Chains A and B, each alone.
Chain A
């Protein structure tokens, strides 16, 4: 089943009176459980593509379907509801809410859905990432690796259909990176989630089934998959 489908996605910004196209007609289609990396140099359009796929921004033209729902004509609040229901996120700088404990951070997506037994689920997830003992700690009291593991627990809390990871190891040392990446792929496998990874790290990208290389907003290379069309 198609979990993330992208068709002719183009994003143009007005810049000094001139339109600046940062993404040119990108298309692909990902199935349940696929792992997918978007690579490319800084300014190549990776983050823009991720933002559009996750419904954080609107494309200038083209369409995005997440778990069969077309995002193009939804309002920001409707897209937020789709994110809560079907999407998980991991960020380079963790993006934990600094005023909430580890447990409360994991609880946010569950409580937003009004899910029963949310605390139990969140504690199980923290246990799964090895941080059950740190549930009551604030982000500032955790190391970078620990923060990213809390972030992983939060990302999987709502059992998302698709998980977007933006440079998940960008702020971590090699040893910690490896532990986090292993955990990420393990959880992904267990949950059967489709994983979309944006990274500079080609070694990390190589762990995915498929890779898309961007330069100047255009797809310059695809590997490991037949469905990618430029």
Chain B
């Protein structure tokens, strides 16, 4: 028997009259696959772009950087490196624009040339060349963001410390810098020779010294670095090569696209749940035909294969449509994620991503469709004689358990493929299970509550609409889950965003500090405080800061520990510059976890307090000995206590706190916190500071709030974009389930109309049913979102949880109206045409 070709022929013939309907339920997976292909194609293109533009990212072949001037002993070796070199000194400082006198904290980069690679775009274009020309009159290049903020024009001046320079151009793009970097720390470029005159580079100032090198084409940069590595390490000089930058940037963005693709996968899963649910309805319609086939001699396997081929074929069409849409979506993603990207993306078709998306989508759709299809195997031919015969498909089916197991394994394998981390994979699986379970549970609870507390006295239309949610073979739970998940994502995003911004807004309260002045030298302290007092601004807090480096832990030198990777102490903890304060007590934002407050021990060794997270990450313990180099002088300490810090409070926070009586004589600077009542007072104090204490920087927390708002807006746009796929998938699942169940609905509608129901009554019943369904889904999603946001508030952000009721009600209304609208739209045939006409068309 030429079985296979007959199976395909039968699948084709049988699908003929319901192809449009079948295609619609396969449409549920289109968006999930589109999202998956879109994200992965984008990821591939991004990786390719990063690889091809890595040199442009770095702007050089090799970059060396350190927090202190380079050791003079290294100069002979460094001066022989490469064929061309540039130097840069960078630091944060208040800059002032003239004539407007606008003042703001900016990143100052003093350079003696441009970048070797990559586009340094300025306006006018010649400005970058003029900047790099050391013989030309000195001038500054200013970030477009800053120029726009202060309405500055080319030809105006900018003051940095004691230096006032004409602005010769605005910077539109800098190699290696993304839109977000510019927004957070807009840059002012100065000629390097002006840096001393600014008076801002002093002992204790936080300054980064950088040198960039260009090598001859084909030169082995890695080998050159390797030869110097030991000496560079000893001098605390960091190296960055094109290959390293390529790796680190590539890794960061690969992580981003992987996590986004997990979100896309959730949309695909939702679509698959929709497919399973729609196929379930379809199978029920087909049971009679299957029984006839069995009667005529088809085996259970043959009957199953006919419908499996059908759904797989349509799944394939859905997957192809999804992949095509995904290829289109990826062209949008560079725009969605544009501000986060350090490179220009060249969009091209990624066949790997399309292949993976097609295969994943098709496999998932077939596996999910198989769940209801399996019952076809067990359809008894006796159904042809007895229509009420239903015992055959009931009862447990072990193969169903196997398919569910395969689906679970596939989900975990996919998650692992994306994250390469078993903990995250299991977390994703558990989270998915919890979210689906909670939504289904909440949906069930709400359904029960509506049923139980529904006013019995309400009219027929309302009661019938409600009863439709409980009809046999209803899709209520599937729809509540799929639409609810989309609503959940949006509502959680909204609540978390509101909470994060709310936390920062606390900084704007009257009593809290909203301006932080730092880098105040000891001799400037009195002057700065006097300046504040003259402006009638309070000194809310003054904090001394001493910088130091770690030299040994428990007597073992840092250089030895660095080589011993088995200890698991992160390198940053060993090489960083520690900014330490000293006092005998903890402040209001700190909580003692173990030990006692900082104190000098009986053995004269100071007992320091370290932040608890730091202690954990560095694998240190109470009682361990830490040796520091305090700007040339050795200082032994013992860890005497650990603290937790509430980072939501506007307070300078420290990893390490010394007791008083140890560091008073060390070179140090001060941080002063104050509160400005309005922007005029803020501008006035910033202007005064620039004039009298140019090295003192000021952080305006109001500005940080605006910047943060901006960033959160951009991130939430990306998440909204992804959540949109879930919502749209939910609505597609709704559309397909309405269309699939239309046959049943038409019969009921015909019966109701025969019994005297008006078209208007049927319309209202449909409206009530879908309105209630949308409302249940929205409430389930929002309910879960409130729980999730509360959990995030309590355990992650440690912030107070507040509920913005009106926007959530708005979201619930929107989802309800959308659901009711789509339900009505897809039922329009039932309502518009005569019952007989509809029945003929459906038959």
Interfacial residues, chain A to chain B (CB-CB below 8 A): 47, 50-51, 54, 56-57, 76-77, 80-85, 87, 89, 91, 95-100, 104, 108-109, 111-114, 138, 140, 154, 158, 166
- Give chain B nearest CB distance to A181 CB in angstroms: 20
Can you give 23 A-B contacts (C-beta < 8 A)? Answer: A51-B382, A56-B385, A57-B382, A76-B300, A77-B299, A83-B295, A83-B297, A85-B297, A87-B297, A91-B385, A97-B14, A97-B292, A98-B843, A99-B16, A111-B10, A112-B296, A113-B297, A114-B2, A114-B6, A138-B17, A140-B843, A154-B296, A166-B385
B385 touches A108 (CB 8 A): no
| A95–B287 CA distance with the chains assembled, in angstroms | 12
B293 touches A81 (CB 8 A): no
A80 touches B299 (CB 8 A): yes
B64 neighbours in A (Cβ, 8 Å): none
| A76–B379 CA distance with the chains assembled, in angstroms | 10
B297 neighbours in A (Cβ, 8 Å): 80-85, 87, 109, 112-113, 158
B295 neighbours in A (Cβ, 8 Å): 54, 56, 83, 89, 95
Q: A47-B385, A84-B296 are in contact. Are A99 and B13 (CB under 8 A)?
A: yes
B13 neighbours in A (Cβ, 8 Å): 99-100, 104
B293 touches A51 (CB 8 A): no
Residue ID in chain A nearest B2 by CB atoms: A114
A56 touches B381 (CB 8 A): yes
B294 neighbours in A (Cβ, 8 Å): 76, 80
Chain B binding surface SS class: helix
- Give chain A nearest CB distance to B102 CB in angstroms: 75
The 9 closest A-B pairs by CB, nearest first: A84-B297, A114-B1, A77-B299, A140-B843, A56-B381, A83-B297, A99-B14, A95-B292, A99-B17
| A113–B299 CA distance with the chains assembled, in angstroms | 12
B149 neighbours in A (Cβ, 8 Å): none
Interfacial residues, chain B to chain A (CB-CB below 8 A): 1-3, 6, 9-10, 13-18, 288-289, 292-302, 380-382, 384-386, 840, 843
Q: A50-B385, A83-B381 are in contact. List 10 more A-B contacts (CB 8 A).
A: A51-B382, A84-B296, A87-B297, A95-B292, A95-B295, A95-B384, A99-B15, A99-B16, A99-B17, A114-B1
| A20–B173 CA distance with the chains assembled, in angstroms | 87
B381 touches A97 (CB 8 A): no
- Give chain A nearest CB distance to B283 CB in angstroms: 14
B289 neighbours in A (Cβ, 8 Å): 97-99
A113 touches B1 (CB 8 A): yes
| A1–B296 CA distance with the chains assembled, in angstroms | 24
A95 neighbours in B (Cβ, 8 Å): 288, 292, 295, 384
A109 neighbours in B (Cβ, 8 Å): 296-297
Question: Which has the most chain B C-beta neighbours within 10 Å: A82, A96, A111, A138?
Answer: A111
- Give chain A nearest CB distance to B313 CB in angstroms: 15
Which residue in B3, B300, B385, B386 is a CB contact (below 8 Å) of A77?
B300
A99 neighbours in B (Cβ, 8 Å): 13-18, 289
| A76–B301 CA distance with the chains assembled, in angstroms | 11
A111 touches B385 (CB 8 A): no
- Give chain B nearest CB distance to A17 CB in angstroms: 16
| A50–B843 CA distance with the chains assembled, in angstroms | 29
Residue ID in chain B nearest A111 by CB atoms: B6
| A87–B843 CA distance with the chains assembled, in angstroms | 29
A54 neighbours in B (Cβ, 8 Å): 295
Question: Which has the most chain A C-beta neighbours within 10 Å: B3, B13, B14, B293?
Answer: B13
- Give chain B nearest CB distance to A116 CB in angstroms: 10
- Give chain B nearest CB distance to A47 CB in angstroms: 5
Residue ID in chain B nearest A112 by CB atoms: B297
A89 neighbours in B (Cβ, 8 Å): 295-296, 384
Residue ID in chain A nearest B292 by CB atoms: A95
B17 touches A97 (CB 8 A): no
A80 touches B1 (CB 8 A): no
| A89–B302 CA distance with the chains assembled, in angstroms | 20
- Give chain B nearest CB distance to A209 CB in angstroms: 24
| A110–B120 CA distance with the chains assembled, in angstroms | 76
- Give chain B nearest CB distance to A95 CB in angstroms: 5
Which residue in B1, B16, B384, B840 is a CB contact (below 8 Å) of A112?
B1
| A66–B302 CA distance with the chains assembled, in angstroms | 23
Question: Which has the most chain A C-beta neighbours within 10 Å: B18, B288, B298?
Answer: B298
| A97–B285 CA distance with the chains assembled, in angstroms | 12
B380 neighbours in A (Cβ, 8 Å): 56-57, 76
- Give chain B nearest CB distance to A3 CB in angstroms: 17
- Give chain A nearest CB distance to B1 CB in angstroms: 3
Q: A56-B380, A114-B1 are in contact. Are A97 and B293 (CB under 8 A)?
A: yes
A82 neighbours in B (Cβ, 8 Å): 297
| A99–B3 CA distance with the chains assembled, in angstroms | 20
Question: Which has the most chain A C-beta neighbours within 10 Å: B17, B288, B292?
Answer: B292
| A87–B296 CA distance with the chains assembled, in angstroms | 8
| A83–B2 CA distance with the chains assembled, in angstroms | 18
B15 neighbours in A (Cβ, 8 Å): 99
A50 neighbours in B (Cβ, 8 Å): 385
Which residue in B16, B298, B300, B382 is a CB contact (below 8 Å) of A56?
B382
B10 neighbours in A (Cβ, 8 Å): 108, 111
| A47–B293 CA distance with the chains assembled, in angstroms | 19
| A97–B384 CA distance with the chains assembled, in angstroms | 12
- Give chain B nearest CB distance to A212 CB in angstroms: 18
Question: Which has the most chain A C-beta neighbours within 10 Å: B13, B295, B296?
Answer: B296
Residue ID in chain A nearest B286 by CB atoms: A99
- Give chain B nearest CB distance to A191 CB in angstroms: 17
B384 neighbours in A (Cβ, 8 Å): 56, 89, 91, 95
- Give chain A nearest CB distance to B310 CB in angstroms: 11
- Give chain A nearest CB distance to B376 CB in angstroms: 13
Residue ID in chain A nearest B383 by CB atoms: A56
- Give chain B nearest CB distance to A68 CB in angstroms: 18
B843 touches A80 (CB 8 A): no
B386 neighbours in A (Cβ, 8 Å): 47
Residue ID in chain A nearest B18 by CB atoms: A99
Residue ID in chain A nearest B843 by CB atoms: A140
Residue ID in chain B nearest A157 by CB atoms: B296
B300 touches A112 (CB 8 A): no
Residue ID in chain A nearest B1 by CB atoms: A114
| A87–B385 CA distance with the chains assembled, in angstroms | 15
Which residue in B1, B9, B296, B385 is a CB contact (below 8 Å) of A51?
B385
B9 touches A111 (CB 8 A): yes
| A84–B301 CA distance with the chains assembled, in angstroms | 15
| A158–B297 CA distance with the chains assembled, in angstroms | 11
A108 touches B293 (CB 8 A): yes
- Give chain B nearest CB distance to A71 CB in angstroms: 13
- Give chain B nearest CB distance to A52 CB in angstroms: 10
B385 neighbours in A (Cβ, 8 Å): 47, 50-51, 56, 91, 166
A80 touches B6 (CB 8 A): no
B16 neighbours in A (Cβ, 8 Å): 99
- Give chain A nearest CB distance to B165 CB in angstroms: 81
Q: A56-B381, A95-B384 are in contact. Are A100 and B843 (CB under 8 A)?
A: no
| A80–B302 CA distance with the chains assembled, in angstroms | 11
| A91–B295 CA distance with the chains assembled, in angstroms | 11
B302 neighbours in A (Cβ, 8 Å): 112
- Give chain A nearest CB distance to B553 CB in angstroms: 74
A80 neighbours in B (Cβ, 8 Å): 294, 297-300, 381
Residue ID in chain B nearest A50 by CB atoms: B385
| A220–B736 CA distance with the chains assembled, in angstroms | 54
Which residue in A87, A98, A154 is a CB contact (below 8 Å) of B17?
A98
- Give chain B nearest CB distance to A151 CB in angstroms: 10
- Give chain A nearest CB distance to B3 CB in angstroms: 7
Q: A50-B385, A114-B3 are in contact. Are A83 and B300 (CB under 8 A)?
A: no
B2 neighbours in A (Cβ, 8 Å): 114
B381 touches A100 (CB 8 A): no
B298 touches A112 (CB 8 A): yes
A83 neighbours in B (Cβ, 8 Å): 295-297, 381
Residue ID in chain B nearest A154 by CB atoms: B296
| A50–B381 CA distance with the chains assembled, in angstroms | 12
B840 neighbours in A (Cβ, 8 Å): 140
Residue ID in chain B nearest A83 by CB atoms: B297
